[in-house]
Amino acid sequence: MRPPVGSLLRGALAMAREALRIIMRRPLPSVVAVALDEGGRVVLMRRSGGAWSLPGGLMEWGEQIEETLRREVLEETGLAVRSVGRVIGLYSHPRRDARFHSIAIAVECVVVPSEEAPERNPLEVLAVQSFAREELPARLAFDGRRILDDWARGATTLD
């Protein structure tokens, strides 16, 4: 005897809901750059909400960490990564980003002007500016201040 159609639909819906929960309720990997210009100043971007932020973003399917680093720095600052330095840390606090749970891999890099800079999205990036360590804004978006403090101390963090 076959189960009623309604029962099959409820079962299929329950399975779909569970599959979405498994897929959607996972931390998302991201890369954050402590990008230094050739003078050793830290490059920050002002986000559309007004806060200064380290450049970075989510990894795309099929990317490796360095590819994400290079892509996000170029997209958000118009600068090219000349060299990749040390991994500063892994940051995974569930509330480090209010939008979703992400695991950020913070990486130091040196950046230079790029000839292939894409047009920045004005809804995401309002400005890009380099700051000497003593001039860095006190407050940064997300956990940028902690990442910069760890970078300045030479620490490697696992959070």
Number of residues that this document lists for the chain: 159
Q: Within 10 A of 155 (CB to CB), how many other CB atoms are there?
A: 10
For the chain, the domains span 27-158
Question: Which runs of E-coded beta strand occur in the chain?
Answer: 28-36, 42-47, 52-53, 56-58, 79-91, 102-113, 125-131, 157-158
Give the CATH number of domain 27-158; options: 3.90.79.10, 3.40.50.300, 1.10.510.10, 3.40.50.1970.
Answer: 3.90.79.10
35: CB partners within 8 A, 6+ apart: 42, 43, 54, 55, 73, 77, 79, 81, 109, 110, 111
The pTM assigned to this predicted structure is 0.83
Per-residue pLDDT of the chain (159 residues; tens, 9 = 90+): 666 767 767 877 888 777 777 666 788 999 999 999 999 999 999 998 889 999 999 999 999 999 999 999 999 999 999 999 999 999 999 888 888 888 999 999 999 999 886 777 777 889 999 999 999 998 899 999 999 999 999 989 998
